[in-house]
Amino acid sequence: MGSTSCKSWRSGTQRILAGAWLRHIGWAALTLATLAAAFAPDMLSLPKPQNAIVLDRATFVADNGEVHAVTMPDAIYLRASGNSTSARYQFEFDLSAIPPDDLFAFVQSFNRHIVLALNGAAFYDSDAHTIWSGAFISNSALVRLPASRLVVGKNTLTMAADAGPFAVPAYFSPIYVGLSADLAPAFKTQFYLYNQLKIMALAAQVLLAFILLFMYFFRPNDPLFSWFAAFSVLNLFFVFGMMLGWQPSVQRFILFFAIATPAMAIVYIGVALALVEVRPPRSLRIAAIAATCALLPAAIMDTPMSRIVIGVAGGASTVIFLIVGTTLIAWAALRRRSTDARLILPAALLLTWYVTRDAYVTATLPANGFNLLSPYARPVFYTFITIVLARRMGTSLDQLDRANETLNVKLAEREAELAALHSREQAETTRRVRETTTHRVREHERQRLTHDLHDGISGHLASIIALSEKTGDKSTEQAAREALSDLRLVIYSLDLGDQELPVALANLRERLVPQLQRLGIELDWSIAGLPEVSGVTPGNALAVLRILQEAITNALKHGPARKIKIRGGAMDGMVAITLENDGHPFLEASGGNGLTNMRRRAQQLNGKLNIEALDHGTRLSLLLPARLPTLEEDEVVA
């Protein structure tokens, strides 16, 4: 057994170590993928057209009369003092021979509305070919040059642009002129990466955002769900504005989209806190609302200066708050070893890096190409958030299943207990029914016996007494009367119930009064102070009555007493019935079997019998417990 245990322990240890290595490999792969996604876009260069005429020098002509030479790419920044809203770039190129029919112009990158004209004739308008245009979108165009306008020698290509009073600089790349076969590969790559892929990323972001909002309605009280729902709403509002902002119908609202940027960045901190299981303070909500309200006047004023303020405030707050929130997530992942924080950390780092990098690229145009990467990071961030939320919901469902299993086990235990209790109750009910039935049978039999005694033996004794009176046989008459009195005592006791000892004593008094009156003996009876006695049965009631009857008989025989006093009360913590007579003091040594039987009956009742000789008479005290023992008539000492 020792060898088997050792092998089992080694096998378990190996499985644990293998699982740990797999986790380390997984985290290492995720780290490398994050680093590659962060730096690869700037390390890779897009293919440039081959065998094409490069138009990278132009004459810049502004609508305010400003004219100067520029080198492409070029950027137009918004100035606080205001500047022109439109400009023209004039390019010149020479053709030494008759141009072919498939000569094209390839505009590699632009982020504004442009119109192309060849030798004074317009042939391309970007508004007719693009839907998505805004701060996040860099469009490209591959347009056939009209052969009828081309000439051998000097040709002029003009690009008219609406720079517009926007905080995001206008950016225009060089123009390439060449054959379709030479320009198409570069155009397709540019168009797919900078335009179509961003639209696909937006679609994925919208889909994930709606999924997360749908999940929020199932867990509205979870801070992470509620804060990320707010982040999703603000982010979608902002992103749609930034990807449609140059459309004429949207341009007048672009500032109202932009002022949501600080609030979105502040809410990101709330998402980070909720992710690390720290309840975000109410002040974050107040700060998000206050930041939006603070920029609202600038959006309403709509001046070049207010646009610069909104742009700088939005960009700076986004970078700062993303860094703060991502730092919180990194702290939870590294220090608190939070699984959720570790899962979301790569996406958070990627989002923060891309936003910071895009802010730098925008601020340094045209030194760097207008290629914003943050739109790609947003769906990645949403994807990882979805994974975290799905994991939390899965964990909650597992906990719910375990709780249900525990409840089912406890319910089964309670059902078993209830079944056992029901069985016991049923058995107890059956027993009580049987006892009740038996009691009723016994009660019926007792009543029948009582009637038989009363109608049978009692009638015979009455006849004997009547005959004895006629014949003058006093001894027979006396014996019959004593037998009849004892019989009536038994009959009365049979009809008693619990706590009816005073009733039994009252019956005794009713029988004693006429007898003692015939003998000229005074009876002083008072049991009002008698405490309550429970457990009274016909047997123990009969025992009490026989003790008192025997005491009265002794008072009449040995007294002879002329006055008998009976009292009920308490003595030494017990119920006491005392009987005093004014006859000769009774000496216990002179007692016979009657006194012995009285003491036995008192012991059967768990009581005491005390006899005390007085100066003029005798006092007998019967002390009983507050609850008498069960004692049926057949147990009473004869």
Q: Which residues contact 165 (CB under 8 A, 6 or more apart)?
A: 78, 82, 85, 304, 307
Q: Which residues contact 34 (CB under 8 A, 6 or more apart)?
A: 346, 349, 350
Question: CA–CA separation, 495 vs 493, rounded Å?
Answer: 5
pLDDT, tens digit, 9 for 90 and up, residues 46-73: 778 888 999 999 999 988 778 899 999 9
Question: CA–CA separation, 323 vs 316, rounded Å?
Answer: 11
pLDDT, tens digit, 9 for 90 and up, residues 570-610: 888 898 999 998 888 876 655 567 788 888 888 988 999 99
**467 vs 378, which has greater pLDDT?**
378
Query: 92 with 158: CB under 8 angstroms?
Result: no
Written as one letter, the residue type at 18 is A
Two domains, one topology: 53-191 and 512-638: no
Query: 483 with 460: CB under 8 angstroms?
Result: no
Question: CA–CA separation, 183 vs 102, rounded Å?
Answer: 11
In the predicted structure, residue 520 carries a pLDDT above the cut 90: no
pLDDT score of 449:
54
Angle (nearest 5°) at CA 68 between 65 and 70: 135
In the predicted structure, residue 489 carries a pLDDT above the cut 70: no
Query: 545 with 586: CB under 8 angstroms?
Result: no
Question: CA–CA separation, 536 vs 544, rounded Å?
Answer: 10
Q: Which residues contact 98 (CB under 8 A, 6 or more apart)?
A: 152
Of the candidates 108, 105, 113, the one whose C-alpha atom is nearest the C-alpha of residue 129 is: 113
pLDDT score of 550:
85
- CATH number for the domain whose boundaries are 53-191: 2.60.120.260
User: pTM of the entire structure?
Assistant: 0.60
- CATH number for the domain whose boundaries are 512-638: 3.30.565.10
Question: CA–CA separation, 179 vs 185, rounded Å?
Answer: 11
pLDDT, tens digit, 9 for 90 and up, residues 10-43: 565 555 555 567 767 877 787 788 888 888 887 7
**What is the full DSSP assignment across 445-503?**
HHHHHHHHIIIIIHHHHHHHHHHHHHHT-HHHHHHHHHHHHHHHHHHHHHT--TT-HHH
Phi first, then psi: what are they for 613, rounded to 5°?
A: -80, 130
55: β partners: 175
Confidence band, pLDDT 50/70/90 cuts, at residue 492: low
Spans of all domains in the chain: 53-191, 205-403, 512-638
pLDDT score of 146:
92
pLDDT, tens digit, 9 for 90 and up, residues 525-583: 988 888 888 888 877 888 888 888 888 888 887 778 889 999 999 888 898 999 998 88
- Identify each DSSP E strand in 472-607 by its residue range: 522-526, 563-571, 574-581
pLDDT score of 499:
63
What value does the mean pLDDT take over residues 341-362?
A: 89
